[in-house]
Chains A and B, each alone.
Chain A
């Protein structure tokens, strides 16, 4: 109780300060050390739009360092906790060929593919089973294809986790905040008892920025409008052979992998 009240008071203070000085520097070290400048209305003048957002990952270009750079960029910006148990939270994570594409039962895969690691994240499916099963519309699909979560409506029934064929969703079994090394004050932390996942950086798209992992990947991830023939993703798909995870599930995933 006490803690909640304190948090609210802190937030109230933060808003007041923010209005007054435009700086969050007085809020103690946890927040001060992260202290990026909060966006202003001007940042939202030129948001990115698409009919259907999609991602193409050029897996050839990834080594361990780049994978970790992407994961770190995502998890730091979004306050994803690092919990050292099987109840952990993952938005962007890695796996080997068999873990990523378990329906491709291949023996003797080309060596470089066999040892390659692949990024996994929410596929932002065209036919998302998680949205179909959610009993409160806490998870929903936007018109531009983003599958979103309302953390304030989610009742924590975890039906979406059973529904997702990609293991993209995580449940906050415990309060995640103690497990966040450095809090980013510009993105909400989540609470115990709700499900969360990758959002395709909806908050960055609204500011005209590419998703954090795309930015961190230095050109190894393409992101754009799948319905625009001139977009980067369509170009990448035209020029390269790409596969998707579990296409037989009928979900029409929005993340493609160039092998």
Chain B
């Protein structure tokens, strides 16, 4: 099937070239980081995780969100998702690839990375996160590739694939739960120390991930003759709407606990995010943008007529993706380190090298996604004779 990736339109090759160029550019900056250390980033003694770990967290959500297609399809026999399901699985592969990429660029001694396997440490959540992420990558590769191959050859999928699919459904929940546990079990990081962290992560993943998927699929429909089907789009849009409602609800729960209890440890990070603390307020405009975009997307998604209007839907999805990305990809990590253990506030903004290395990892993911989706759509086009 790989041969499908080797034959494509000039536009396909053009895209691959642009992505490769972005990877090359970012890699230059990564070499710079490798020679000088993480000092080239905006991170500090106080804010010791930054943009990389935030992107990692966001993308674990994107990876987990494939389950929003797989679960209705396998557990509820919702056949309308049949055309999209492989795209969801391949998006998960690209997303996990980026997650691993962001971990690699974030650690200070990447050449010692395998120490996590050489000295397995079950009391560390990071050890488990490494296991579940790699496991999820393998599961999606095996399931996606095998089912696509069977589809191509017109044979029913082998019987062993179903248990794997069921396993992958549970597994999807586990990757984002374990990722939430990375943060939610640390004494002294008040913004993270909350029992609904995993639930919040899942809710935000199940709205933002499918939104990104749906946007990409609508883009794919513009570029090729691929048609996901109206019913599938509407069903996914409805899932997104519910998940976003739950996501906003969870954020409000956090707000209530913080501000009604009035415990400084709980309120400080939120005050920092939404109005600034000790004069540091660089995230404030982003947070209010996220609020406007998030609520705006709900205003467009909740009324059924607007939600099913495919001219408006992309805008709602874009708003939702940006809003949830600001929440998780910018605010979550920094707010966990604010205020620091001495009740002081240290500002953090990613530097240019940091952003370029981020661009590299995202481009690697986009490249993987482009190739995988090219294979999947070529095979579908061939079968449908379009």
Contact = CB atoms under 8 A, between A and B. Distances in A.
A76 interface: no
B39 A136 contact: no
Is the contact region of chain A dominated by helix, strand, or loop, or is it mixed? loop
Contact of B341 (A85, A155, A164, A250): A164
Given A86-B45, A102-B341, A165-B187, A192 B37 contact: yes
B112 A153 contact: yes
Interface in A61-114: 85-90, 95, 98-100, 102, 105
Contact of A174 (B39, B106, B127, B189): B39
B48 A105 contact: no
B126 A249 contact: no
B123 A132 contact: yes
B217 interface: no
Interface string A173-200: 1110000000000000000111100000
A141 to B, nearest CB: 12
Nearest to A157: B107
Contacts of A193: 37-38, 107-109
Contacts of A121: none
Contact of A132 (B48, B124, B183, B346): B124
A229 B119 CA distance: 38
Contacts of A102: 341-343
Contacts of B264: 105
Contact of A249 (B41, B106, B125, B188): B188
Contact of A171 (B38, B103, B336): B38
Contact of A135 (B44, B116, B188): B116
Contact of A173 (B43, B110, B125, B187): B43
Nearest to A246: B188
A211 B204 CA distance: 49
A167 B342 contact: yes
B48 A171 contact: yes
Nearest to A131: B123
Given A99-B342, A102-B343, A194-B109, A159 B188 contact: no
A129 interface: yes
A137 B121 contact: yes
Interface string B177-192: 0000011001111000
Given A155-B107, A159-B126, A167-B342, A88 B188 contact: no
A174 B186 contact: no
A251 B341 CA distance: 14
Nearest to B46: A86
A135 B186 contact: no
Contact of B127 (A87, A135, A167, A175): A135
A106 to B, nearest CB: 13
Nearest to A174: B39
A161 interface: yes
A137 B119 contact: yes
Contacts of A208: none
A166 interface: yes
Interface in A138-155: 138, 153-155
Chain B CB within 10 Å, residue with most, of A100, A132, A134, A136: A136
Contacts of A195: 108
Contacts of A133: 123-126, 186
B342 A173 contact: no
Given A135-B126, A173-B39, A249-B187, A156 B108 contact: yes
B39 A134 contact: no
Nearest to B42: A86
Size class of the contact patch on chain A:
35 or more
Contact of B188 (A153, A164, A171, A174): A164
B39 A87 contact: yes
Interface in B198-242: none
A25 interface: no
Contacts of A161: 45, 48
A126 interface: no
B248 interface: no
Interface string A236-259: 000000000010011100000000
A138 B115 contact: yes
A174 B108 contact: no
B122 to A, nearest CB: 10
Contacts of B336: 162
B376 to A, nearest CB: 35
B75 interface: no
Contacts of B186: 129, 133, 162-163, 165
A136 B121 contact: yes
A195 B46 CA distance: 13
A124 B316 CA distance: 51
Contacts of B38: 156, 171, 173, 193
A157 B105 CA distance: 10
Contacts of B36: 174
B130 interface: yes
Interface string B94-134: 00000000010011111011011011010111110010000
A164 B342 CA distance: 12
Interface string B26-39: 00000000001111
B341 A134 contact: no
Per CB-CB distance, the 4 closest pairs between chain A and chain B, nearest first, are A156-B108, A165-B188, A193-B108, A167-B341
14 contacts: A85-B44, A87-B43, A129-B186, A133-B186, A135-B127, A136-B116, A155-B109, A156-B112, A157-B103, A162-B49, A165-B341, A167-B340, A192-B108, A250-B187
